[in-house]
Chain A
Amino acid sequence: MKKIEVLGTGCKKCTVTAEQITAIAKELGTDVEVTKVTDPQVIMRYQVMSTPAVAVNGQLAHSGGIPNREKIEALLKA
């Protein structure tokens, strides 16, 4: 199972990102656990400056906005 964290201090874009990842994972039948991370300390540890960002299994995989569909599929398949 993939552990996906959506990093961001809680604006609308972060919510949208989390929703889209969950929806696309369901479509593709990928087993994921999506959590939203709002703790600034954790976000700092990932060295992210532009949110929303996405980490897969503890590895930073995307940052700086809502990822598009292609990007999300790539994240889920990787």
Chain B
Amino acid sequence: MLEVFTWLADWLVYGVAGLNPESKLGTSLHFFVEDTTKIFALLVVMIYVIALVRASMNLERVRHYIQQKNRMAGYGLGAGFGAITPFCSCSSIPLFLGFTSAGIPLGITMAFLFTSPIINEVAVIMLWSLLGWEFTLVYVVIGMGVGIGGGMILDALKGERWLKDFAAKAYQQAAVAPLSDEPAPETPSLTMRDRHEFAWNELKEIVERIWKWVIIGVGLGAILHGFVPDDWFSNNLGSGQWWNVPAAVLAGLPLYSNATGVIPIMESLITKGLPVGTTLAFCMSTVAASFPEFIMLKQVMLWRLLATIFIILLINFMLVGWIINLLAPWLFSSL
């Protein structure tokens, strides 16, 4: 079904514009037209459909559900809901305080916040269409793993010691008087019209927010695709020395992007011979460790906790890179 977009790009680039399929410009432009049309078509349909389903989901219900579970299940749920809950990064602080003041451990709350920028419906749709389902699955497992692992380490280090006073107090009060005995928040009853309105607004809002990223991301990916020779990375960086991974993580840090902008670039990096683990480490570092986000968290955390979180994330990304590079020959027969 998705071949339609290849035909469209063939027709526009090689037919109408008359470019040579062998030329660098022709290949780049073909990549750009095919990927942007495909991504936008998929996004519009899928965001709307997914939003219809999750219109009745809200953070109050998610929080109540997480509270009911034991701690170990809590990490998984935290990361899982982080992946599927519609959530804008400007709500990080209210969410953090809402969870903390309900007595949810810091590590579980952070598992939610770690996973949230890495996995979302837009990232999954793009990965699936550009890199296939095997890669998407590995990406989701890793994203959840980074969240769950990060959260557990943070609790093992007793990170809650380094919360700002008012947040720490709210957490302790909740431990004395748990909210978890309260009845679950009511499920809002929604008509089809409500759902449509919600989904339509979501669609407009998300597309408005990400369209530039798609264009920039696919544009950079297209340039890499057409102008960088095949296997450039494996010829120039060697085939995956250990230091490539930390270098990729450091290179990703100052780049602040969301998953939408990075995924088309990942596709090109991999086809040009950058090892999959190194590529993923770069991607996670760009997406999940962003300075604006950290500065926001400063409102509820002491520097010590922020620094700890930052280091935990960096170590996690490097582990991801090394482990996936080791496993890649078994995981991706197709790449």
Q: In the bound complex, what is the Cα–Cα distance between A47 and B99 (angstroms)?
A: 10
Bitwise interface map of B from 73 to 116 toward A, beta carbon under 8 Å scored 1, else 0: 00000000000000110111111011101000000000000000
Q: How far is the CB of B183 from chain A (nearest CB, A)?
A: 16
If A40-B300, A44-B98 touch, whether A49 touches B60 (CB-CB below 8 Å) is yes
Question: B170, A49: Cβ atoms under 8 Å?
Answer: no
Question: B63, A49: Cβ atoms under 8 Å?
Answer: yes
Question: B90, A9: Cβ atoms under 8 Å?
Answer: yes
Which B residues from 10 to 66 make CB contacts under 8 A with A?
58-60, 63
Tell me which residues across on chain A come within 8 A of B201, comparing CB atoms.
65
- Which 8 pairs of residues, A with B, have the shortest CB-CB distance? A11-B90, A49-B98, A44-B97, A49-B59, A9-B93, A40-B93, A49-B95, A40-B299
Q: In the bound complex, what is the Cα–Cα distance between A53 and B60 (angstroms)?
A: 14
Tell me which residues across on chain B come within 8 A of A8, comparing CB atoms.
90, 94
Q: In the bound complex, what is the Cα–Cα distance between A48 and B93 (angstroms)?
A: 10
Q: In the bound complex, what is the Cα–Cα distance between A48 and B59 (angstroms)?
A: 10
Question: B90, A13: Cβ atoms under 8 Å?
Answer: yes
Residue contacts A-B, CB under 8 angstroms, 23 given: A7-B94, A8-B90, A9-B92, A9-B94, A9-B296, A9-B299, A10-B90, A11-B88, A13-B88, A14-B90, A40-B94, A40-B300, A43-B97, A44-B94, A47-B101, A49-B59, A49-B91, A50-B59, A50-B91, A50-B95, A51-B90, A64-B59, A65-B201
Tell me which residues across on chain A come within 8 A of B296, comparing CB atoms.
9
Q: In the bound complex, what is the Cα–Cα distance between A53 and B93 (angstroms)?
A: 13
- Across the two chains, which residue of chain A brings its CB closest to B85? A50
- Across the two chains, which residue of chain A brings its CB closest to B60? A49
Tell me which residues across on chain A come within 8 A of B95, comparing CB atoms.
49-50
Q: In the bound complex, what is the Cα–Cα distance between A43 and B299 (angstroms)?
A: 12
Kindly state whether residue B166 has any CB partner on chain A within 8 Å: yes
Tell me which residues across on chain A come within 8 A of B170, comparing CB atoms.
44
Bitwise interface map of A from 6 to 26 toward B, beta carbon under 8 Å scored 1, else 0: 011111011000000000000
Known: A11-B90, A49-B99, A51-B94. 17 other contacts (CB 8 A): A8-B90, A9-B91, A9-B299, A13-B90, A40-B97, A40-B300, A41-B166, A43-B93, A43-B94, A43-B97, A44-B97, A44-B101, A47-B101, A49-B60, A49-B63, A49-B94, A50-B59
Question: B94, A48: Cβ atoms under 8 Å?
Answer: yes
Chain B: how many interface residues by the 8 Å CB criterion?
A: 22
Tell me which residues across on chain A come within 8 A of B59, comparing CB atoms.
49-50, 64
Question: Which residues of A line the B interface, CB within 8 A?
Answer: 7-11, 13-14, 40-41, 43-44, 47-51, 53, 64-65
Which B residues from 186 to 209 make CB contacts under 8 A with A?
201
Q: In the bound complex, what is the Cα–Cα distance between A63 and B277 (angstroms)?
A: 40
- Across the two chains, which residue of chain A brings its CB closest to B97? A44
Q: How far is the CB of B172 from chain A (nearest CB, A)?
A: 14
Tell me which residues across on chain A come within 8 A of B92, comparing CB atoms.
9
Q: In the bound complex, what is the Cα–Cα distance between A49 and B93 (angstroms)?
A: 8
Q: In the bound complex, what is the Cα–Cα distance between A50 and B170 (angstroms)?
A: 18
Bitwise interface map of B from 221 to 263 toward A, beta carbon under 8 Å scored 1, else 0: 0000000000000000000000000000000000000000000
Tell me which residues across on chain B come within 8 A of A65, comparing CB atoms.
201
Q: In the bound complex, what is the Cα–Cα distance between A31 and B207 (angstroms)?
A: 36
Q: In the bound complex, what is the Cα–Cα distance between A53 and B97 (angstroms)?
A: 15
Q: How far is the CB of B206 from chain A (nearest CB, A)?
A: 13
